[in-house]
Amino acid sequence: MIECKPAVIGVAANRPRERVQDAFARYIAALRKRPVQRWTEFFFDAHQFDAEARQIVDTARDVFVSRGVRLDCVLINGWAEPRAGIMEPARECPDFLRRMSDYARERLGCGLGLHVYTTGCRSSALRDWIAARFDMVYTEPGPQGRGAYCLADPRAESLLTGNLGRYVREHDVRMYYYDWGCFGCRAGSHRGHMPGYGTEAIADAFLRHLQAMRAARPGMFLCDTGWFSPGGSSGTTRCSSPAATGTPTCEARRPTPPWIFWALGATT
């Protein structure tokens, strides 16, 4: 007997004016729960609620909002640094999210979006702290090598979902931007899955997490950066590449063109 998750198998033409992806796009459109909508965000890097962060927000107000551009959220990158736990505000600025949320609401008329180091594999994540608490996936020799926590570990899933869910409820978070994820695990001793079957368990854990975020705020924009392919079918809201040329950078420290996303809506 073969037992597996639900799957869809389709057959389509693959000619110059009718590619397989065209048929797949029609299939997705047929299942779509919500109409396509544009999502406009202003993206910048902030570690503290300081004069510089406020100046960037003020400039965004002058450049966009005062000219009639309605922002859906201001997306903050780097907010969880210096490193602390799993996606927690830096100890130096524990009330960062509340203050930034209030300021964005006041100056830009929008809520917050937060960039997420999904499984802690970014070099700036607090790896020793993570490794001491969770089952780990090492993609280079450890314990100091490049690694991530196994999201199938129920302790890690619980902490990630608990933290991000709390921010939705307490700080008007409208969007999570899931980046830096590790979705493959073949470890033989992890508590969250059988030996060699971590990838499916991690995908299931991520789906539960996404559903919890949507439960916390229906209409939440859950954006996948491409690490969790296929984004559209994994519960995230699939997004396009930036409409503007170039991408905002931490170093530039200046307002950048907004990223334009077209939400296809959840298909699950």
Binding site for Zn ion (CB under 5 A): 150, 185, 187, 190, 198
Least gap, CB of 7 to Zn ion (angstroms): 23
* Least Cβ distance, residue 152 to Zn ion (angstroms): 5
- Residue 52, classed as helix, strand or coil, is helix
Task: Name the DSSP class of 51.
Answer: H
| Whole-angstrom distance, CA of residue 247 vs CA of residue 242 | 7
Cβ 231 to Zn ion shortest distance, Å: 22
Please name the amino acid found at residue 115.
H
Nearer to Zn ion, 147 or 198 (CB): 198
User: In the complex with Zn ion, which residue's Cβ is closer, 192 or 232?
Assistant: 192
**Nearest distance from C-beta of residue 149 to Zn ion, angstroms:** 9
What span, in angstroms and rounded, lies between the C-alpha atoms of 259 and 243? 6
Q: Nearest Cα to 57, choosing from 99, 15, 117?
A: 99
CA distances from 256 to 139, 187, 189, 246 (A): 34, 42, 46, 9
Which residue's CB is nearer to Zn ion, number 19 or number 186? 186
- Indicate the residue among 112 and 185 with the shorter CB distance to Zn ion: 185
Whether the CB-CB separation of 250 and 203 falls below 8 Å is answered with no
